[in-house]
Amino acid sequence: MLLIRLLILQLLLVLIEFINTELGLQCHCYCNGADETRGMRIHVVVFLKCRSAIHSVQLSRSHVDWYGVDEVYLYSDATTSKIARTVTQKLGFSKASSSGTRLHRGFVEEASLDDKPPQTTHIVFVVHGIGQKMDKDRIIKNTGMLREAVRKMEEKHFAEQTEEHVEFLPVEWRSKLALDGDTVESITPDKVRGLRDLLNSSAMDIMYYTSPLYRDEITNGLTQELNRLYSLFCSRNPEFESRGGKVSIISHSLGCVITFDIMTGWDPVRFCLQEHRDQLKGEDLHWTTHEERHLLEEVQLTRQRLRELQDQLQGLKAAKPTPFPTLTFKVENFFCMGSPLAVFLALRGIRPGNTGDQDHIMPKSICRRLFNIFHPTDPVAYRLEPLVLKHYSNIAPVQIHWCNTISPTPYDEIRPSHLSVSKSAASDTENGSSPSSSPVLATRHYGESITSLGKASILGAASISKGIGGILFSRFSRSPSLPSAVDSGIGDSEDSQSTFAFSAISPSSLFDAAVEMEHRIDYELREGLVESRYWSAVTSHTAYWTSHDVALFLLTFIYKQQSTDQTQNTSPM
């Protein structure tokens, strides 16, 4: 019997300890004595703990009270919570036990001075495409999902990278633009208003960007936001630039085209003005008299001298810091996801060349490496490699490895593989008018002035963003006044890559099927085994953000590039 009483007493003590620690009450028990006949009489005294908060912080809709180092409580300031807190306190309960939520730091190990994340060595700007007007915070959510996937892959595959850290920063450029105000809204009919509002908030961005009136506002808006975020990051991380920090850009959908145009300096208005000047210059051929022809020759010599002076001036400007609104940083890697960039370039006149250099599309002086990531059923995405080498339309893009693949083959060691005959035949039938198989256009030269401006653009590309003229329609073919690169056998020389002209497509016989890409550009995600292609066509355009395969692919090239730079810096001269 005594053993049972002792057990009851022990349970009572445990209950009192729980009341003291969890309910915020103070309990005491005492015994008034015991004998063999009456047994033990235990009295429990419970009274309110009246401690006041050591420190308090008022938030927007709540407040936090500190009662001790390990006693921190969060209280809601809603009306119902205040009423419940008042009633329970009248009944004798403490403030913490009535409506407070105890906060825990969640750390299980003791902190140390060395226990801190490495400094950021590489920042990646994430640029959205269309549809951001519907949900202006969408790019922040997408970047958060991408960041979460990257962190999982980083812990699994790059745990040894303790001295490097990659940070992803969202770039929201759409909400700050005024564009046409509410003009489009005022002309939108009321029938099926929901569908019309959806189109106005998404597809309308494409029409805005193709409009000469609003295009500059979009490019300037994105440029300013990129420069603002970079300046803000550097101000908060003053050692980033001194430590050789790198910057890459990830763009999605239409954002790929806008970012590409900002980096290369594409300006269709300037091109139209230059073409108009060339047409006016062609009218001078109607002069017939000897004196008029002599004056025309003098005018042409003067124009040629003026172009030479403009080239010299452009070269001097290239040595100066890049002016607003160009980017204030050098881009290491440009990752395109679900990109229609190839279609825009094809419609601008870019056609396949005879070398496998990335410079045919994106000069390496502007961006070290270009990547085109796409899902095979993404209806918005197109390939870029056939615009560099025509026969790559029959070569399969590089397959992105599964994130759980054991010992995958390095991407740069994967050899090109031809598409199957049936697939190639089907693609030729279905995509007869694709950019890679476009018919040969009639020869048309745009004049020496454009060619000279192209030379000046190469000089400006070294300072990023000066590629205004030659890069605009960079077909990377020889000038009409110079011998053909194929005929002269100097297609791989530096001079052949630095001289631009806007000539027509080279005949298909000039393309050498033995030429390979210097670096692969097209990278394709693998289809799921039980994936429906029709349903995937609806969801694939937005599936890149949560893909662990994409996250691992990004880290593979970012960390590889950083490792290569460190090896080059430490190697003996």
Q: Which one from 99, 248, 251, 253 is the annotated catalytic residue?
A: 253
Instruction: Give Rg (Cα) of the chain.
Output: 34
CA dihedral over 523, 525, 527, 529, signed as positive or negative:
positive
∠ CA 335-199-174, nearest 5°, is: 50
Quick one: which of 50, 92, 47 has its CA closest to 67? 50
Quick one: which of 234, 253, 240 has its CA closest to 127? 253
DSSP 220: H
Query: Residue 36 corresponds to which tokens in the numbers above?
Result: 């063999």
CA distance 249 to 168: 9
Residue 544 near residue 550 (C-beta atoms within 8 A): yes
Active site residue 253: yes
∠ CA 36-40-45, nearest 5°, is: 165
CA distance 308 to 66: 74
Relative to beta strand 166-171, strand 122-127 is parallel
DSSP 505: P
What distance separates the 2 farthest-apart alpha carbons in the chain?
144
CA distance 310 to 369: 30
Cβ contacts of 375 within 8 Å, gap of 6 or more: 338, 381, 524, 525, 527, 536, 540, 541, 543, 544
Cβ contacts of 353 within 8 Å, gap of 6 or more: 360, 388, 389, 475, 476, 477, 506
Quick one: which of 105, 157, 82, 163 has its CA closest to 551? 157
Q: In angstroms, what CA-CA distances link 205 with 130, 185, 202, 253, 332?
A: 6, 14, 6, 11, 27
First to last CA, the chain: 90
Residue 362 near residue 336 (C-beta atoms within 8 A): no
Enumerate the active-site residues. 253
